[in-house]
Structure 1
């Protein structure tokens, strides 16, 4: 896995990449996991000729600390510039969780965007007006078990050595950032314009959302739903980290949208 680091006015952005076509852009969720490692098994399941770009957000992973106050929109603009430097004829975004907010901010700035694939991308509804349905309440009660589920899935996904490396890298990266850095990252999300507007995925863009069953209707009415004939919501998995449970299936979905 090759890595590069690029200086931006916001700070150093580090990313894993491979040259190739088409280009798959991997956008991580919020937290300490390095994007390249998080999506490693999805990447390995894609054809070797595919290129990929897996950036770590500022104040996380292998990237540096932010140099000034910023928003997701600011960082998404910098990421879009890097993506466009690859000069890809086809680009597919695969975004997990808060990565969906980044995708919404960069969708009109990326050249040759072919499709969007979201793994439980963060919706305005879940943040601003969470559903009161029993399934959501029950899921929130069991959030403490999420870490156990992640660890169990990774034991299934990775070899013992890969698993050790994953957690060692994560712990090493966490130590790079202090409380101020963590607050800056949190502020980038909280202060972003995404929460105050009604931007949606364009009907010109095929949008595939992969989610646990209980959130299916949320996504069908969300900003990630488009009227494109190829768009759909796919129910899969029992965890927010569906790419840890079903990497091969997600790779197959990415291949499918590229052939649209």
Structure 2
């Protein structure tokens, strides 16, 4: 895996890259995890001839701090330009959490996009009008202990050496950014046009949504799900980082789409 850095008008974006076809684009959640580590368990089960492109968003991971005010769409456009320069014949996007919003905003800009796979991609409803069903309310109560919970999950689900490296890297990344950088990240999300539009993913590209079972109805009415014959919602996992629990199954989905 090569590590590359690209200077953009917004700031320096770092990404991991491996040549191959189709190109699997990994889009991360917000936070201090670098993208490769967040998806590392899935990568173990992917054939080595598949390409990988894994950027860290600005103000996260190994990427730099933003140089100016920006939105998710601004950064998505910058990332799409990098992807297109790689000249992949076929692209599959695998996005986790807020990475789904980036994918949504670059869906018409990435050349040769073949499919989208979202692991609980952030949708408008969960931010603007969150459901009040019991399962959602109980999950919100548990978020107060999220850092301790996530730390334990990493050490439960990753090999010990990898878990230690993962957490050490996360702490190092977190120390690199300050409260102002975190605020720039939140502003990028809040000001994005995604929240103010009503557009949906068109039917020409299949969308596969992987989610905990209690969120199925939410995603059925979301902007990600469409009427493509290959689109589906797959119930899986017991918490938000489903790729840590079921990496083999997610890798199998990507392999199936790559054929």
Quick check: TM above 0.5? Answer: yes
State whether residues 24 and 91 of structure 1, in contact with CA within 8 Å, keep that contact through their aligned partners in structure 2.
Answer: yes
RMSD: 1.1
Please list every run of 5 or more consecutive structure 2 residues that lacks an aligned counterpart in the other structure: none
Q: Which TM-score applies when normalising by structure 2?
A: 0.97
State whether residues 32 and 60 of structure 1, in contact with CA within 8 Å, keep that contact through their aligned partners in structure 2.
Answer: yes
Match in the other structure for 2:57: 57
Distance in 2 (CA, whole Å) between partners of 1:245 and 1:2 is 26
Please list every run of 5 or more consecutive structure 1 residues that lacks an aligned counterpart in the other structure: none
Displacement of 1:10 in angstroms is 0.4
Distance in 2 (CA, whole Å) between partners of 1:168 and 1:210 is 28
Displacement of 1:154 in angstroms is 2.1
Q: Which TM-score applies when normalising by structure 1?
A: 0.97
State whether residues 4 and 16 of structure 1, in contact with CA within 8 Å, keep that contact through their aligned partners in structure 2.
Answer: yes
Q: Once the two structures are superposed, what CA deviation does each residue of 1:170-189 show, in whole Å capped at 9, x if it has no partner? A: 11111111111110011000
Displacement of 1:31 in angstroms is 0.8
State whether residues 149 and 239 of structure 1, in contact with CA within 8 Å, keep that contact through their aligned partners in structure 2.
Answer: no
State whether residues 153 and 245 of structure 1, in contact with CA within 8 Å, keep that contact through their aligned partners in structure 2.
Answer: no
Distance in 1 (CA, whole Å) between partners of 2:33 and 2:152 is 16
Distance in 2 (CA, whole Å) between partners of 1:70 and 1:221 is 29
> How do 1:15-164 and structure 2 match up within 5 A?
15-164=15-164
Please say if 1:243 is aligned against 2:243: yes
Match in the other structure for 1:181: 181
Match in the other structure for 1:220: 220
SS in 1 for 2:176: coil
SS in 1 for 2:52: strand
Match in the other structure for 1:10: 10
Count the aligned residue pairs: 259
